[in-house]
Amino acid sequence: MSSAAQDEVDALFNQPEKYGRHHPEDASQSGGSSDSASDNDVTVHSDFGDADTLTSNIATMPPATYHIPQGTIFDANTGPKGVIADAQSFDKARKRSFRGTLQALSNGQTPAARPAHKTSPGSREKSSSPELSADDEEDEFMRTWRASRMNELRAGEHDTRTRRLSPSKRKYGSVETVDAVGYLDAVEKVPVDTVVVVCVYDHESSVSGLVEDALRQLARTHVTTRFVKLHYLDAEMDEVAVPAILAYRGGDLFANLSAVIEEIPMGLDMGPTSLESVLKKHQVLS
């Protein structure tokens, strides 16, 4: 009996075309083609397909479409430190622009106007908030600064005009010792209608001492006239011409009295009265 069972099993395995190894539906789809695979072949389920079909499907899939956001800055820094650096760069650029505007105003130029922006009713309502934008704050500061600057210029012009027209407001009343630099400042840095009397002296000369004493007394009575004295070595003047008196007005020399002692009339001593007469004669004093 065991022999009969063995024969039946062998018959089943030796006739695959009769029973088939596939599902009936797979057999109908294959169009009746026979499967000659060996016993060691592994059946691949139709839901997965073979490897070639899978690769073909992947290759024919349409590529995904990526959209880059408009206005993206690719060279911007990223991370906390990068964001801080970008903010600092923007602030520096704004300050440079603002400093350029201030410099243009200081030079008497008109800063470039901002282009006009059209505003919608909605944006106009938003802009009416109490908080001003950065541009509005800058405009407000510029208006305030410009008004303040104009007031300063008007005040300075008024002071200059008053100083030049009213030299009596600046009083001297003494003889100031100066060097070469102080001599130039004394002559040039005064109102244009102020008379500057320069005494070129020799500290070893007694005659020079008499002239200096007389000038000190004249300085106390002619307080609107500036009196200074300069050593003859600093003045690079010959000792023979000392003491000498030079007079300037508006930076120009209009009286040159070398060896002023010789200008004193015969019979008069060197003193405030005689020296004053000589200076009035040459229109140094009035």
Question: What are the tens digits of pLDDT across the range 94-129?
Answer: 555 555 555 554 455 544 544 444 444 444 444 444
Whether the per-residue pLDDT at 92 is higher than 90: the answer is: no
Between the two ends of the chain, the Cα-to-Cα distance in Å is 166
Whether the per-residue pLDDT at 178 is higher than 90: the answer is: yes
Based on DSSP, count helices (H) and strands (E) in the chain, helices before strands. Answer: 10, 5
- Answer for the pair 100, 108: CB distance below 8 angstroms, yes or no: no
* Burial category of 111 from C-beta neighbours within 10 Å (exposed 0-12, middle 13-18, buried 19 and up): middle
- Residue 227's DSSP bridge partners are 175, 197
> Please, what is the average pLDDT of the chain?
71
Of the given ranges (1-5, 18-22, 65-69), which has the lowest mean pLDDT? 65-69
Nearest to 237 by CA among 245, 247, 225, 248: 245
Of the given ranges (91-100, 112-121, 251-260, 267-276), which has the lowest mean pLDDT? 112-121
What pLDDT shows up at residue 286?
86
The pLDDT > 70 percentage for the chain reads 51
Confidence of residue 208 (pLDDT cuts 50, 70, 90): very high
- Answer for the pair 170, 196: CB distance below 8 angstroms, yes or no: no
CB atoms within 10 A of CB 16: 14
What pLDDT shows up at residue 219?
95
- DSSP reduced 3-state for 242: coil
Highest mean pLDDT among 45-49, 155-159, 228-232 belongs to: 228-232
Query: What domains sit in the chain, N to C, each tagged with a CATH number?
Result: 175-282 (3.40.30.10)
Measured N-to-C along each axis, helices 79-106 and 134-165 cross at an angle, to the nearest 10 degrees, of 30
> Which amino acid is residue 249, in one-letter code?
R
Query: Can you read off the two tokens belonging to residue 269?
Result: 């001593």
Residue linked to tokens 């008379």: 195
CA atoms of 12 and 19, how far apart (whole Å) = 8
The stretch 150-161 carries a mean pLDDT of 70
Read off the DSSP letter of residue 44: P
Read off the DSSP letter of residue 250: T
Q: What's the predicted TM-score (pTM) here?
A: 0.43
What pLDDT shows up at residue 141?
74
Confidence of residue 134 (pLDDT cuts 50, 70, 90): low
Whether the per-residue pLDDT at 232 is higher than 50: the answer is: yes
Query: Can you read off the two tokens belonging to residue 174?
Result: 């003494």
Of the given ranges (35-49, 89-103, 188-202, 261-275), which has the lowest mean pLDDT? 35-49
The stretch 18-32 carries a mean pLDDT of 52
What pLDDT shows up at residue 89?
65
What pLDDT shows up at residue 259?
87
